[in-house]
Amino acid sequence: MRFIKMTGIGNDYVYVDCFDQTVEHPARMAQIVSNRNFGIGSDGLILVLPPDDGVDAAARMQMFNIDGSEGQMCGNGIRCVCKMVHDHQLGDRHSDNPMRIQTACGVLSLAYEFDNEGKVKTVSVDMGSPILEPAKVPVDAEELTETDQPQTFKLSVPGTTERFDATFVSMGNPHAVIYVDEVSEETGDLLRSWGEALENHPAFPERMNIHFVEAVDDETAKVLHWERGSGPTLACGTGACAVCVAGVLTERTNASITAHLPGGPLHLEWQNSAHGTPGSPPGPVIMTGPATEVFTGEWPS
């Protein structure tokens, strides 16, 4: 199996060109190659395939987490898919700009810029509109206590007496945004200790991505991530989008922010965020960040 190791600000995956090869049992393969001691080392496996018949797209993305579960979407991953399709000339639409990529959350549009060698360097992704209805995130609100802030409920850490205000947003996958006074080493220790319990809270029928966030100012946030199925990661693109939305909903940050993740910064903009206008649908979130190829290799069959 020929593969490419790629990363979006530290959110690294093993990518496989499935235009001309097939991966048998991808869920199991994700567990094997993701192992950082005995495998390639990654947050999961992403297959880059031809789009389904009749779908207007250059390629299709299918992702698997480190535990073998299939993910719905990865914002950092899709930027790297765009780079891989263009730089390695996969399919007959590799030069489309914007490029359309089919995902489990629908077809997304990506615009990209080049480095001095004509390779894709930076990608802006239209991540679509956030889903704000708790039942569709999905969250079982009966297991939680409402607060006076939109999308926000009291969330307890199972097995402890700790409780947080958590703001819930779906970007095609579910996110809980928890604001803290400061993102620090101690905050990271707490997230590592409580992440699995929070991910699998009884209120989350499809588990949950957890984000601890410090609102530094109106245009800046610091974020730590716990990704369902993977644990702590250096970056989470859909999570950063959820942080942008949650910041507007709770009036902590503006609709255009820079999110500083452990792996580096992402720029987010919630366009036409008409959350305060009754009957107006929310606009899309645009995420901009780098995509980097690390190395190529061949995994023995």
Is residue 16 domain-shared with residue 152, that is, in the same domain?
A: no
Q: Name the pLDDT band for 276 (thresholds 50, 70, 90).
A: very low
Q: Closest Cα partner for 76 from 35, 32, 113, 125?
A: 125
Residue 24 sits in a domain whose CATH number is 3.10.310.10
- The pLDDT assigned to 280 comes to 62
- The pLDDT assigned to 77 comes to 96
- The pLDDT assigned to 282 comes to 82
Domain-embedded: residue 128:
no
Rounded Cα distance between 45 and 26, Å, is 8
Mean pLDDT of the chain: 95
The domain in which residue 96 lies consists of: 2-114+291-298
Is residue 147 domain-shared with residue 223, that is, in the same domain?
A: yes
Tokens of 67: 């535990």
Residues pairing with 17 in the sheet = 48
Rounded Cα distance between 300 and 51, Å, is 27
Is residue 140 domain-shared with residue 279, that is, in the same domain?
A: yes
- The pLDDT assigned to 150 comes to 86
Q: Which residues are catalytic?
A: 74, 236
Tokens of 298: 């061949």
Domain-embedded: residue 122:
no
206-224 residue pLDDT tens: 999 999 999 999 999 999 9
What's the mean pLDDT in 277-298? 87
pTM exceeds cut of 0.85? yes
Please tell me what DSSP assigns to residue 255. S
Q: How many domains does the chain have?
A: 2
In angstroms, the Cα distances linking 191 to 79, 170, 186 are 26, 20, 9
Do residues 47 and 61 lie in contact, with contact meaning Cβ atoms separated by under 8 Å? Answer: yes
Identify the three-state secondary structure at position 37: coil
Is residue 76 domain-shared with residue 172, that is, in the same domain?
A: no
Burial zone of 197 (CB within 10 Å; 0-12 exposed, 13-18 middle, 19+ buried): middle
* HEC sequence for 151-220: CEEEEECCCCCCEEEEEEEECCCEEEEEECCCCCHHHHHHHHHHHHHHHCCCCCCCCCEEEEEEEEECCE
Identify the three-state secondary structure at position 285: strand
Is residue 250 domain-shared with residue 168, that is, in the same domain?
A: yes
